[in-house]
Amino acid sequence: MRKSQLTSALGLLLVLHFPLVEAATLETAVADYRILPREYRLDGVVEAVHRTTVSAQTQGQVQEILYDLDDYVEKGAVLVRLKDTEHRARVAQAAADLKAAAARLQQAREAYDRIQGLHRKKNVSAAAMDQATADLSRAEAGLEAANARLEEAQEQLGYTQIRAPYSGIVTQRHIETGEMVSPGSPVMTGMSLEALRVVVDVPQSVVPSLRHADRSGPIARIDLPNGETLATRDITIFPYADLGSNTFRVRIALPAPTRERPRGVFPGMFVKTAFLVGEDRALAVPKSAVVHRSEVTGIYVLTADDQIHFRQIRLGRRLEDAQVVLAGLTAGERVAIDPVAAGIRLKSQTRVPQRATGEKAKG
All structural domains of the chain, each given as residue ranges with its CATH number in brackets, are 3-35+282-362 (2.40.420.20), 40-50+192-279 (2.40.30.170), 52-83+160-191 (2.40.50.100), 87-150 (1.10.287)
Q: Is 245 helix (H, G, I), strand (E, B) or coil?
A: coil
* Reduced 3-state DSSP string for 25-63: HCCEEECEEEEEEEEEEEEEEEEECCEEEEECCCCEEEE
For residues 276 and 220, the answer to whether their CB atoms sit within 8 Å is: yes
- The set of residues, in sequence order, having a beta carbon less than 8 Å from that of 3 and lying 6+ positions away, is none
Backbone angles phi, psi at 246, to 5 degrees: 55, 40
CB 164 within 8 A of CB 79: yes
Tell me whether residue 48 is exposed, middle or buried, using C-beta atoms within 10 angstroms of its C-beta: 0 to 12, 13 to 18, 19 or more: buried
Convert the pLDDT of each residue in 281-339 to its tens digit: 889 888 888 888 888 888 989 888 888 888 888 888 787 788 888 898 888 888 888 88
**335 vs 318: CA distance, rounded Å:** 17
pLDDT for 256 equals: 74
The contacts of residue 354 (CB under 8 Å, 6+ apart) are none
* CB-based contacts of 213, cutoff 8 Å, min separation 6: 219, 276
- Report the b/e string of 248-265 with b at 16+ CB within 10 A: bebbbbbeeeeeeeebeb
> How far from the centroid of its chain's Cα atoms is residue 234's Cα?
12
Q: Which residues of the chain have pLDDT under 70?
A: 1-24, 257-263, 351-363
Strand ranges (E), 287-337: 290-293, 296-302, 308-312, 314-318, 322-327, 334-336
Which of 47, 36, 40, 37 has its CA nearest to residue 273? 40
pTM: 0.61
Q: What are phi and psi of 88, to 5 degrees?
A: -65, -35
Q: Which helix (H) or strand (E) holds 183?
A: none
User: Sign of dihedral through CA atoms 183, 184, 189, 192?
Assistant: positive
Predicted local distance difference test score (pLDDT) of residue 306: 81
- Residue 4's pLDDT is 44
CA distance 303 to 297: 20
**Confidence at residue 351, expressed as pLDDT on a 0 to 100 scale:** 63
What is the C-alpha to C-alpha distance for residues 26 and 345, in angstroms, rounded to an integer? 9
The pLDDT tens digits of the residues spanning 215-237 come to 777 888 898 887 788 888 889 99
Q: Yes or no: say if 343 and 300 are a contact pair by the CB < 8 Å rule.
A: yes
CA distance 329 to 312: 9
